[in-house]
């Protein structure tokens, strides 16, 4: 790790009020400033990788709210992740990590096959039986949490059913490649269909290469930098083989990772060229606001927006989603207090650190309730999973949908 | 620190609020002061005044030193324990006890964040003006202990001007209540004023009562460029001489302007000596009149550019250059030494000139920005802690800057406190008699020297 990145932290503390885990604990060790200090002191040989050390470092959600707040451009979340990646490279992947990150995640067909039993489980009514009998209580808590988070799955993953080329409606303005995130394809396929419909309606030909692989974000979460680099090379080559104006994604996590391929591959020209073409769907749609506005019909809904960390903090996209929501005639948009605070989903954090995840989530739910909105709009599958469950159980319940689903509703109203 | 003592602490505040693992101690060994670090022996996070009392009684009896800490944003090393004592963090005590709309006061627990209080009182049409740069994380107790200032100091004063009552826990655990909600109070020594800016050496605040004022109805923001530093400084003096007191009168020098432009591309010209950000607030008619007066004065002093914000959004845009000044500077080099030398406002131009000459003499990069209206400048040295020679030169340069500050009738610290960082300059400023009185006061409050030892003198 570049030591200068660590000493760039001037310990001003500006990150503290933005860090979800600091806000819950008030502990310096649970703050970005503290984590940078821990990593620095490890590098300087003052601290060892004790159990406590790992516990403190792993409490980071990697939401990168600290990076947005830092006056000196230090990204504490990223530094901690980088540190953990380096340690992982030294220690090697465990058998389970190797199985998931190398043998399962990079292979969409295997990933889809692995989740097929889940679809069956929901569709055959087995889920109802399991839930009513409380069978999940006998399984490990983590499995119960995972099961509880799952919304109703689509009949088939979108990657299998989507056409490789969707023509533009009317005059063609350009061609975009669609990067279909794994979770979007497996779980939120309706939102991704809405994305394609919007792009096509605005005059874009949409190319969705079927061979695309996971963006590599799970590898990053598992601190497997080599697996991430493999994914980056593969997807770069695949998309660069098409003539594309932009590469669009509707998954905040994928977008953040794709935009960093150039960085992950140490500035390789092809990867850098690919990364500069990547756009979050809201960025593309915002440039078409005029044309879009003409097509949107009134929706008298009370709506609020949750900034996914991977959109707001990692990609710096804040105004576009709000501007798009406000294009809808008759919409009653209400700003969410602490809108860009993490919801606690954070990749697999909600499974690994359930207690802290719940505390962070509960603050989010309270803030959503303060708005009085009927709909919470967001644009990252992790947030969708986490918030759909929590807000369906809230009183009164709040519906959670992807930004493109809201726009599609207005388009077809 | 002995295990039995740590156990005794945890019996008071609870096990989860008592920290003694090496990782935690490492993280409580610093605050925002560059270069200074020292690990405490233990950290406690009490939840009530009673717990603070018991912790202090225990430590005072056992001869263990206690250093209070809010969010650890101190800039003079004031919240670092240099003798492996106990760091007492007040963040858990973060309740707003009361906003009294009849008496126009707010009573808060010591750990309430300054900007949280701002939001709460402003939602009721009231105003708590002190706005230190760290207001989004600094605690009210910390603000009182350091007498924090901020951008609005010129017109509205500093923390000191708003403290009406304090509940302070003394070194032996006794509770001292001073002041209250009354505007007039001459019963005995003014202990409130004595406790403000005591830097944690006289007692630990558990509750603070502050004065509130009505929120100004209107505000106008202006940005002005000056090709010549002297003209900018004269403008500042002449605005005040014209009986106009802006809420904000902020200044950026040439080095800061360049760093801001490199970083934020806000369209600042690189050939000007100074940029002023001016804000007037109050009754709409008064605001209009003041803004017109300021414009005339700026033009008379040959400003090269004058812009008034049309609305709140544009105001925010105009304020960007000042808002990002510290960020822009801090990014240039790994280590940032931020000082707060303060001179009478008539000395702004010679002071800025002196800082620039000193930077040149010691071959250093120093950007100066700050509160021109109240003479409180932030010469900011951009350096690298890995270069001992440069760090030595930086300290020499600041030594000279402080000497000059004192000679001009100014002070070594306008709002950051003496702590340990400025200790060696204090005798020159206050003299033997000043030190003797301060030591006497310390002895009266804390005879065993339990509270924040080694700070101030």
**Confidence grade of residue A280 (pLDDT, cut at 50, 70, 90):** very high
Q: Residue A132: what pLDDT?
A: 63
Give burial (CB, 10 Å; 0-12/13-18/19+) of A255: buried
A16 and B24 in contact by Cβ < 8 A?
no
Q: Residue B316: what pLDDT?
A: 85
**Confidence grade of residue A350 (pLDDT, cut at 50, 70, 90):** confident
Of A10, A34, A53, the CB nearest to B330: A10
A73 and B331 in contact by Cβ < 8 A?
yes
CA distance A324 to A305: 11
* Structure tokens belonging to residue B340: 């707060």
Interface test with B, best of A4, A8, A16, A47 (most B CBs within 10 A): A16
Looking at residues B54-59, what average pLDDT do you find? Answer: 98
Which residues of chain B neighbour A37 with C-beta distances below 8 Å?
Answer: 26-27, 30
CA distance B201 to B198: 6
**Is A149 a residue whose pLDDT tops 80?**
no
Which residue from B minimizes the CA distance to A47?
B23
**Share above pLDDT 90 across residues of chain B, in percent, rounded to a whole number:** 88
Which residues of chain B neighbour A41 with C-beta distances below 8 Å?
Answer: 26
**Confidence grade of residue A130 (pLDDT, cut at 50, 70, 90):** low
Query: What DSSP character marks residue B85?
Result: -
B24 and A12 in contact by Cβ < 8 A?
no
Q: Residue A147: what pLDDT?
A: 72
B22 and A13 in contact by Cβ < 8 A?
no
Q: Which residues pair with B18 in a beta bridge?
A: B44
Of A11, A27, A46, the CB nearest to B30: A11
Query: What DSSP character marks residue B292?
Result: H
**Share above pLDDT 90 across residues of chain A, in percent, rounded to a whole number:** 74
**Is A137 a residue whose pLDDT tops 80?**
no
B93 within 8 A of B435, measured Cβ to Cβ: no
Which residue's entry shows tokens 């101030």? B456
CA distance A214 to B180: 63
**Share above pLDDT 70 across residues of chain B, in percent, rounded to a whole number:** 100
Query: Three-state SS for B380?
Result: strand
Which residues of chain A neighbour B21 with C-beta distances below 8 Å?
Answer: 50, 52
Interface test with A, best of B16, B26, B43 (most A CBs within 10 A): B26
CA distance A85 to A146: 25
Q: Which residues pair with B213 in a beta bridge?
A: B127
Closest approach of chain B CAs to the CA of A23, in angstroms? 10
Closest approach of chain A CAs to the CA of B324, in angstroms? 8
**Is A99 a residue whose pLDDT tops 60?**
yes
**Is B312 a residue whose pLDDT tops 60?**
yes
Looking at residues B49-72, what average pLDDT do you find? Answer: 98
Residues 6 or more apart whose Cβ sits within 8 Å of residue B20: B1, B6, B41, B42, B43
**Is B91 a residue whose pLDDT tops 70?**
yes
Closest approach of chain B CAs to the CA of A112, in angstroms? 43
Closest approach of chain A CAs to the CA of B70, in angstroms? 10
Looking at residues A231-259, what average pLDDT do you find? Answer: 96
Q: Residue A18: what pLDDT?
A: 95
Q: Pick the more confident residue, B261 or A376.
A: A376
Of A4, A17, A73, the CB nearest to B113: A17
* Structure tokens belonging to residue B275: 């940029």
Helix H or strand E encompassing B177: strand B175-179
Rg (CA), chain B: 22
Looking at residues A166-193, what average pLDDT do you find? Answer: 95
CA distance B348 to B369: 11
Q: What are phi and psi of A149, to 5 degrees?
A: -75, -25
Looking at residues A213-221, what average pLDDT do you find? Answer: 90
Q: What superfamily does domain A3-91 belong to in CATH?
A: Alpha-helical ferredoxin (1.10.1060.10)
A34 and B19 in contact by Cβ < 8 A?
no
**Confidence grade of residue A89 (pLDDT, cut at 50, 70, 90):** confident
Exposure class string for B255-287: b at 16+ Cβ within 10 A, else e: bbbbbbbebbebebeeebbbbbbbbbbbeeeeb
CA distance A61 to A77: 8
Q: Residue A139: what pLDDT?
A: 56
Looking at residues B22-29, what average pLDDT do you find? Answer: 98
CA distance B357 to B363: 10
Looking at residues B65-91, what average pLDDT do you find? Answer: 97
Q: Where are the beta strands (DSSP E) in B192-235?
A: 204-211, 213-214, 218-226
Helix H or strand E encompassing B185: none
Q: Residue A142: what pLDDT?
A: 65
For residue A105, the Cα-to-chain-centroid distance in whole angstroms is 16
Of A13, A14, A47, the CB nearest to B26: A47
Q: Residue A143: what pLDDT?
A: 65
Which residue from A minimizes the CA distance to B74?
A12
Closest approach of chain A CAs to the CA of B186, in angstroms? 39
Size of interface A-B (CB pairs under 8 A): 85
Query: Three-state SS for A215?
Result: coil
CA distance B397 to B368: 14
pLDDT digits (tens, 9 = 90+) for B135-151: 999 999 999 999 999 88
A28 and B34 in contact by Cβ < 8 A?
no
A37 and B30 in contact by Cβ < 8 A?
yes
Spans of all domains in chain A: 3-91, 95-149, 158-285, 288-411
Spans of all domains in chain B: 3-89, 96-214, 218-325
**Is A284 a residue whose pLDDT tops 90?**
yes
State the maximum Cα–Cα separation within chain A, in Å, rounded to a whole number: 65
Chain B residues with CB under 8 Å of a chain A CB are 19, 21-24, 26-28, 30-34, 45, 71-73, 89, 91-92, 113, 115, 134, 136-137, 324, 326-327, 330-331, 334-336, 385-386
- Do A3-91 and A158-285 have matching folds? no
**Confidence grade of residue B456 (pLDDT, cut at 50, 70, 90):** very high
Angle at Cα B315 formed by Cα B311 and Cα B318, nearest 5°? 140
Architecture (CATH level 2) of domain A158-285: 3-Layer(aba) Sandwich (3.40)
CA distance A19 to A32: 7
Residue of B293, B247, B77 whose CA lies nearest to B154: B247
Q: Residue A167: what pLDDT?
A: 97
**Is A298 a residue whose pLDDT tops 90?**
yes
List strands edge to edge, sheet with A375-378: A332-333, A302-305, A375-378, A399-402
Looking at residues B118-146, what average pLDDT do you find? Answer: 96
Query: Three-state SS for A205?
Result: strand
Query: Three-state SS for B339?
Result: coil
Give burial (CB, 10 Å; 0-12/13-18/19+) of A351: middle
B134 and A13 in contact by Cβ < 8 A?
yes
Cα torsion B325, B328, B331, B337 to 10°: value is -20
Give burial (CB, 10 Å; 0-12/13-18/19+) of A122: middle
Q: Where are the beta strands (DSSP E) in B212-247?
A: 213-214, 218-226
State the maximum Cα–Cα separation within chain B, in Å, rounded to a whole number: 71
Looking at residues A15-34, what average pLDDT do you find? Answer: 97
B257 within 8 A of B268, measured Cβ to Cβ: yes
* Structure tokens belonging to residue B124: 């009721």
Architecture (CATH level 2) of domain B3-89: 2-Layer Sandwich (3.30)
Report the mean per-residue pLDDT for chain A: 91
Interface test with B, best of A49, A72, A79 (most B CBs within 10 A): A72
Q: Residue A306: what pLDDT?
A: 98
A26 and B45 in contact by Cβ < 8 A?
yes
Of B27, B324, B330, the CB nearest to A34: B27
Q: What are phi and psi of B328, to 5 degrees?
A: -60, -40
Chain A residues with CB under 8 Å of a chain B CB are 4, 7-8, 10-14, 16-17, 26-29, 31, 34, 37-38, 41, 46-47, 50, 52-53, 56, 71-73
* Structure tokens belonging to residue A168: 């533009």
Q: Residue A352: what pLDDT?
A: 85
CA distance B337 to B262: 20
Looking at residues A232-243, what average pLDDT do you find? Answer: 96
pLDDT digits (tens, 9 = 90+) for B343-363: 998 898 899 999 999 999 999
Query: Three-state SS for B86?
Result: strand
Looking at residues B16-23, what average pLDDT do you find? Answer: 97
Q: Residue A136: what pLDDT?
A: 57
Among the ranges given (A84-98, A195-209, B250-264), the one the predictor scored with the smallest mean pLDDT: A84-98
pLDDT digits (tens, 9 = 90+) for B169-185: 999 999 999 999 999 99
Looking at residues A113-121, what average pLDDT do you find? Answer: 76
Task: Give the pairing type, strands A302-305 and A332-333.
Answer: parallel
Q: Residue A118: what pLDDT?
A: 75
CA distance A316 to A296: 26
Closest approach of chain A CAs to the CA of B301, in angstroms? 33
Residue of B417, B286, B265, B249 whose CA lies nearest to B340: B417
Ordered DSSP codes for A88-149: HHHH---HHHIIIIIIITT-HHHHHHHHHHHHHHHHTSHHHHHHHHTGGGGS-HHHHHHHHH
CA distance B88 to B69: 6
CA distance B383 to B396: 13
Total residue length of chain B: 457
Of 1.10.10, 1.10.287, 3.30.70, 3.40.50, which CATH number belongs to A288-411?
A: 3.40.50
Residue of A231, A192, A228 whose CA lies nearest to A208: A192
A343 within 8 A of A351, measured Cβ to Cβ: no
Which residue from B minimizes the CA distance to A70?
B327
Task: Give the pairing type, strands B365-371 and B248-253.
Answer: antiparallel
List strands edge to edge, sheet with B66-69: B18-19, B42-44, B86-89, B66-69
A71 and B327 in contact by Cβ < 8 A?
yes
Give burial (CB, 10 Å; 0-12/13-18/19+) of B2: exposed
Among the ranges given (A301-305, B105-109, B136-140, B324-328), the one the predictor scored with the smallest mean pLDDT: B324-328
B21 and A16 in contact by Cβ < 8 A?
no
Of 3.30.465.10, 3.80.10.10, 1.10.3470.10, 3.40.50.11740, which CATH number belongs to B96-214?
A: 3.30.465.10
Q: Residue A101: what pLDDT?
A: 81
Of B27, B115, B385, the CB nearest to A29: B27
CA distance A276 to A374: 36
B117 within 8 A of B108, measured Cβ to Cβ: yes
pLDDT digits (tens, 9 = 90+) for B364-422: 999 999 998 889 999 999 999 999 999 999 999 999 999 999 999 999 999 999 999 99
Report the mean per-residue pLDDT for chain B: 95
Fold assignment, B218-325 = Alpha-Beta Plaits (3.30.70)
* Structure tokens belonging to residue B110: 């010591």
């Amino acid at each position: 790790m570049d030591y200068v990145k660590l000493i760039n932290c001037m310990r001003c503390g500006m990150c503290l009020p933005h860090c979800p885990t600091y806000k819950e604990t008030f502990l310096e060790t649970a703050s970005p400033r503290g984590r940078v200090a821990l990593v620095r002191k490890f590098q300087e040989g003052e601290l060892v990788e004790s159990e406590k050390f790992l516990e403190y470092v792993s409490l980071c959600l990697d939401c990168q709210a600290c990076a947005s707040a830092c006056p000196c451009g230090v990204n504490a979340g990223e530094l901690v992740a980088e540190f953990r990646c380096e340690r992982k490279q030294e220690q090697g992947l465990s058998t389970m990590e190797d199985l998931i990150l190398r043998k399962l995640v990079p292979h969409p067909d295997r990933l889809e096959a692995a989740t097929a039993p889940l679809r069956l489980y929901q569709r055959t009514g087995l889920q109802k039986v399991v839930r009513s009998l409380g069978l999940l209580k006998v399984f490990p808590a983590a499995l119960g949490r995972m099961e509880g988070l799952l919304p109703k799955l689509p009949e088939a993953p979108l990657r299998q059913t989507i056409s490789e080329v969707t023509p533009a409606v009317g005059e063609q303005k350009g061609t975009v490649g669609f990067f279909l995130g794994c979770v979007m394809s497996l779980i939120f396929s309706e939102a991704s269909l809405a994305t394609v419909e919007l792009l096509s309606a605005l005059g874009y030909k949409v190319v969705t290469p079927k061979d695309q692989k996971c963006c590599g974000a799970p590898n990053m979460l598992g601190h497997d930098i080599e697996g991430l680099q493999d994914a980056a090379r593969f997807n770069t080559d695949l998309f660069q083989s098409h003539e594309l104006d932009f590469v669009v994604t509707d998954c905040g996590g994928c977008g953040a990772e794709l935009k960093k391929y150039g960085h992950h591959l140490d500035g390789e020209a092809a990867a850098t060229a690919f990364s500069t073409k990547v756009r979050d769907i809201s960025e593309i749609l915002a440039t078409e606001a005029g044309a879009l506005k003409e097509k949107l019909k009134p929706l008298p809904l009370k709506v609020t927006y949750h900034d996914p960390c991977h959109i707001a903090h990692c990609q710096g996209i804040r105004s576009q989603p709000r501007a798009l929501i406000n294009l809808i005639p008759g919409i009653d948009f209400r700003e969410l207090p602490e809108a860009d605070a993490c919801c606690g989903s954070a990749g697999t954090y909600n499974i690994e650190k359930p207690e802290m995840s719940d505390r962070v989530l509960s603050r989010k739910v309270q803030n959503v309730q303060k708005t009085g909105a009927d709909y919470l709009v967001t644009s990252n599958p992790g947030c969708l999973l986490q918030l759909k469950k929590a807000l369906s159980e809230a009183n009164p319940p709040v519906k959670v949908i992807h930004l493109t689903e809201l726009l599609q509703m207005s388009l077809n109203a | 620190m002995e295990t039995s003592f740590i156990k005794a602490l945890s019996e008071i505040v609870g096990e989860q609020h008592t920290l003694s693992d090496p990782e935690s101690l490492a993280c409580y060994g610093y605050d925002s002061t560059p270069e200074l670090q020292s690990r405490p022996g233990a950290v406690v996070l009490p939840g009530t005044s009673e717990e603070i009392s018991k912790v202090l009684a225990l430590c005072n009896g056992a001869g263990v030193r206690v250093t209070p800490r809010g969010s650890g944003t101190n800039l003079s090393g004031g919240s670092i324990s240099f003798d492996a004592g106990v760091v007492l963090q007040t963040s858990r005590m973060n309740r707003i006890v009361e906003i009294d709309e009849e008496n126009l006061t707010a009573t808060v627990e010591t750990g309430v964040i300054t900007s949280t209080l701002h939001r709460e009182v402003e939602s009721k049409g009231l105003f708590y003006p002190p706005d230190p740069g760290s207001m989004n994380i600094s605690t009210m107790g910390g603000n009182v202990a350091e007498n924090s200032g901020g951008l609005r100091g010129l017109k509205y004063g500093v923390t000191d001007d708003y403290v009406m009552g304090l509940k302070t826990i003394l070194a032996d655990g006794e509770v001292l209540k001073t002041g209250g909600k009354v505007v007039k109070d001459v019963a005995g020594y003014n202990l409130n004023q004595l406790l403000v800016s005591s830097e944690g050496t006289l007692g630990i605040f558990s509750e603070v009562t502050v004065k509130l004022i009505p929120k100004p109805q209107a505000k106008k923001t202006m940005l002005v460029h000056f090709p010549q530093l002297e003209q900018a400084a004269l403008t500042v003096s002449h605005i005040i001489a014209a009986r106009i007191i802006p809420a904000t009168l902020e200044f950026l020098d040439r080095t800061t302007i360049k760093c801001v432009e490199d970083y934020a591309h806000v369209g600042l010209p690189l050939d000007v000596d100074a940029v002023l950000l001016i804000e007037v607030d109050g009754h709409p008619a008064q605001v209009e009149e003041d803004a017109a007066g300021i414009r005339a004065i700026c033009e008379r002093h040959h400003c090269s550019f004058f812009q008034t914000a049309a609305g709140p959004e544009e105001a925010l845009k105009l304020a960007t250059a000042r808002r990002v000044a510290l960020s822009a500077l801090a990014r240039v080099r790994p280590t940032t030494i931020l000082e707060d030398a303060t001179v009478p406002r008539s000395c702004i131009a010679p002071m800025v000139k002196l800082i620039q000459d000193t930077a040149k003499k010691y071959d250093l990069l120093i950007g100066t920005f700050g509160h021109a209206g109240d003479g409180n400048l932030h010469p900011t040295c951009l350096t690298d802690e890995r270069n001992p020679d440069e760090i030595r030169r930086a300290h020499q340069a600041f030594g000279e800057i402080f000497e000059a500050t004192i000679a001009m009738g100014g002070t070594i610290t306008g709002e950051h406190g003496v702590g340990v960082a400025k200790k060696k300059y204090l005798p020159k400023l206050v003299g033997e008699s000043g030190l003797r009185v301060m030591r006497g006061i310390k002895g009266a409050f804390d005879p065993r020297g339990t509270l924040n030892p080694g700070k101030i003198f």
